[in-house]
Amino acid sequence: MRAALRVIAGRGAARAGIQLSLLALLPVWGADDFGRYVAAVGTFSWLQMSVAGVEKAALTAVPRARSLGGQVTWMLLRRAATPFVVTGVAAVALAPAGGPLGLYAAAAANAAGLGLLSVSAAIHRLLQRPGRDSVAFLAYAVWVVAAAALAFADVLRPNGYALMLTGGLAVVCAVLVALVPRDRPRMIRSGLSGVINRRVLLLGFSDVADAAGVSVLYILLAAIAAPAEAALVYVLVLISSTLGAFGVLVLRLIQPSISLRLRGPSGEGGRALARRVSGWTAVVAGSAALGIGAGALTAGADNRVLLGAIVAVEMTSFCAVVYAVFLLENTNGAVLSLTTAAALAALLATVATAMVATGPLGAIGAFLALTAGLVTKAAILHTRLSTGRGPVPVTTAG
């Protein structure tokens, strides 16, 4: 418990420093430059989440794979590092070009680096070194605050700021990876690589789909709205994601033990709880979103009460759906096709709603789109689990 509290405190302090330092740059850069920066960051949020599949695979597979834990660990680390290496090289190569191309390349590298940081920290928690998680995130937070200070002094503009953050991530991640012990080389079990690839892909898809929905919002806002509107949505998403990130962190901390607890026949209880949570979420959040959407069409897109209400609905719905998916992902591998199908349907619902609602309703429409995706995912999970059509056979294979 004390180790978990240290990780939460370290992550919380790091997140506060990172977010507050960025928000402080809004008056320095102005709404236009700030809006362009957050649009670039938001566009590649899916890339950070794509690496989340590696983290979840590590937290579920390594505790179960006692004899192959070391091999699995390094196979997962290599998969997490590859996107950061590729995007980092692209960011350095495009840095002299500057402009939007350089900014978006640096934003992609930063997103991939944040994903690698989370995976590396998770590996050290599995190695019973949770203090390294806190130290790594605090060290990166100090780096971010230093970069923000330079930007506040007008030394760094958005492109340089993004590149400096990426450089800090490279150093912190390199140290964490270097501290992971290496087992003696041994033959890799036949088919192990394919199993890991499947788990990484399917475990990460739900998070990628959620992040891709946010990226679509930023792309639409950049195309049809002023940069200041993108900045407003970014600030609101930042507020919303704070609660969500805390909930996700708590789930990641308990995931190894939950993965062992829900293995095999015990997973039926986890699937039953996921069915109930997703059902209530679909009904309550769906009804609230319809009411708020109707009210916005009548009262106007600038109604701040309705905006606050839909943000609250989206926040609570996100936490509930993430919990339901978490329960399912820790039962067995067969259920991952269900969570993947639900995530894909949620992404399509988010995109369709965003295309219709973001233009006339602005920020309210953006959060209505996010909520529509969450309601869709919850409804599909509940329906498939209730009717027995979900691929959830009881196995002991994990």
How is residue 128 written in tokens?
A: 């019973």
Residue 156: name the closest of 167, 146, 141, 142 by CA. 146
Residue 184 Rama label (left phi>0; alpha psi -120 to 50; beta)? beta
Q: What pLDDT tens digit does each residue of the chain (398 aa) get?
A: 566 667 777 777 777 777 777 778 888 888 788 878 887 887 887 788 777 777 777 777 665 555 445 667 787 888 889 999 999 999 999 999 888 899 999 999 999 999 899 889 888 888 888 888 888 988 998 999 899 999 988 888 899 999 999 999 999 999 999 998 876 545 455 555 666 666 666 676 777 787 778 878 777 877 776 666 667 777 787 777 777 777 777 887 777 778 778 777 777 888 899 999 999 999 999 999 999 999 988 887 778 889 889 999 999 999 999 999 988 888 876 777 888 899 999 999 999 998 888 878 888 888 999 999 999 999 999 999 988 655 544 443 34
Q: Residue type for 108, please?
A: A
Q: How many residues does the chain have?
A: 398
Residue 49: name the closest of 215, 193, 219 by CA. 215
Cα–Cα distances (Å) from 165 to 7, 144, 285, in that order, read 22, 6, 37
CB–CB of 340/206 below 8 Å? Answer: yes
Cα–Cα distances (Å) from 335 to 250, 255, 264, 299, 396, in that order, read 22, 16, 12, 43, 13
